[in-house]
Chain A
Amino acid sequence: MIPRHQKLLFGILLLASLIMSVTLWQLRERAHKRLIAGQDSAPTRAPEVAPAEQATLLVANDSDSSMRTQIHSLPLPADPGSRARAVLGKLLDLYAAPDAAHPVPGGGSSVLQVFLLPVPEIAAGAAAAVKPKSTEFRANQTGAAPREQPQTGPQLAVVNLTGSFAASHPSGIEAETLTVLSICGTLHANQPRITQVRFLVDGQTRATLAGHADLTRIYLAGDAVPTEGMQP
């Protein structure tokens, strides 16, 4: 025989659990509606895409040790450093293509950053004292002249490459020299204010690219640009 007060207690508890279940269900529905309302990520504004511009690339060719000028149309950001990185990314994408004339794995993501710094006068003089001459590689032109930009002073471009790019680069004097010179020439052709180029790998100074080409020195970018065929 169950005492009466126990029956009464059981009924109250049962009623309380029912009320709590209903309340919990209502709260859940309310939270679900609030969550769905917050996750509304439908685009309300079209993304801004930089207008396509013409970029001049100096593309190396292993078969005849030449560098050819090519014009490519690609979206370029307004910031000079990002612009230089985008152009070099396109150049390295060409080298990573399966049918590349100068095959180098890695692609555009191999350029981590490009920093542009003003060239101090003392550094400019010192660099001129050890001015490297351009290679004797033949140059052919297949495009137009680079854009004119306002001259407000020479710049040093510090190109930071990935370690995987250097590790996978084909070893050889010619292959490494062509890569270095095509990067220098491409930077100068698109931003003539860039007169000097220095290379880092994963943010550190590295002795050579893949065992041969010296990466500790500052390269004069203008010397890498073939002079013939660059007139408009």
Chain B
Amino acid sequence: MGENTEEYTSGDKAPTDSIGFVAETLLPVGRRASLFIAYFAALAVYGQLVGAQPPPPAPQARFVVVLDAAHGGDDAGGSLSNGQFEKTFTLALSVRLRSLLAARGIQVVTTRESDAAVEPDRRAEIANHAQAQACLSLHATESGLGVHLFATSLSATQPTRFAAWKTAQAAWVTRSLALEGVLNSALQHAGMNVTLGRTSLPVVDSMSCPAVAVEIAPEMGPDKKAAAGLDDPDYQARVADALAAALVEWHSEAHQP
């Protein structure tokens, strides 16, 4: 008995689920009680450490926004009414939006920071390498009124390990439409007229992230005519604020449990 007692109380080789049975059959009552107490105390300590304790907070996923100021360099884009080119407007909007988002603690990656020509494929490469949670392609036009939001016209497909370059966005259609909805809500909340659409843009179609093309047109007034042009600083500020608010909302939705 003594040899057996020493063998099992060491606890090295006895399976844990048979400890109770072994103790009942092999140990005297006094030592059996102390062994039970030690066993349950050990379980309680283990439970404190592993089970009962709330799980440690998971490291928060990196939230990155990609801002693509369309055109640049030799590609001036459309001509705006005040003589400005689309490439200048989109760069200014990108810089303003980047500042607003950085002030809210959101990491921003831009496809260009100056009047430089960036190929469409290169823009998509930047977005895809950033593994962003939101990608906005910024445009401006004198056609129409309000803000036009476009998601890709590709049909939604299941994500695959290897995606075709020209249709990489197909796996992100659902998320892109959700992002478009958040942007739409924020812009309408800011009192702007919003048009939703689907289109085929080479840059957006190659992005593997929730992506929306944002096209800013002159603001629509109550009489359905242009109330503020693209050169109106107040209009530019309100558009940028609304887009930033939408991305903050998208950020909070992405981190909801």
A residues apposed to B, CB below 8 Å: 62-63, 65, 129-137, 170-175, 177, 207-208, 210-214, 216-217, 219
Find A62's partner among B144, B196, B213, B224 (CB 8 Å cutoff). Answer: B144
Query: Chain B interface residue count: which class?
Result: 20 to 34
B155/A174 in contact, CB under 8 A = no
Bound Cα distance A201, B67 (Å): 31
Chain A neighbourhood of B217, CB < 8 A: 172, 174
Binary CB contact string for chain B from 11 to 32 against chain A (1 if under 8 A, 0 otherwise) = 0000000000000000000000
Find B78's partner among A136, A171, A217 (CB 8 Å cutoff). Answer: A171
A63/B144 in contact, CB under 8 A = yes
B155/A131 in contact, CB under 8 A = yes
Chain B neighbourhood of A137, CB < 8 A: 197
List the one stretch of B52-60, B94-102, B135-143, B232-240 in contact with chain A.
Answer: B135-143
Bound Cα distance A175, B195 (Å): 13
List the one stretch of B40-48, B106-114, B200-208, B242-250 in contact with chain A.
Answer: B200-208
Can you give 22 contacting A-B residue pairs, CB < 8 Å? A63-B144, A65-B195, A130-B170, A135-B199, A136-B196, A137-B197, A170-B78, A170-B141, A171-B79, A172-B144, A173-B201, A173-B213, A174-B143, A175-B144, A207-B202, A210-B78, A212-B139, A213-B199, A213-B200, A213-B201, A216-B202, A217-B200
Bound Cα distance A219, B153 (Å): 10
B167/A174 in contact, CB under 8 A = no
Given A170-B142, A171-B86: A211 and B71 interface contact (C-beta under 8 Å): yes
Chain A neighbourhood of B195, CB < 8 A: 65, 174
Binary CB contact string for chain B from 180 to 210 against chain A (1 if under 8 A, 0 otherwise) = 0000000000000001111111100100000
Given A63-B224, A65-B148, A211-B78: A132 and B200 interface contact (C-beta under 8 Å): yes
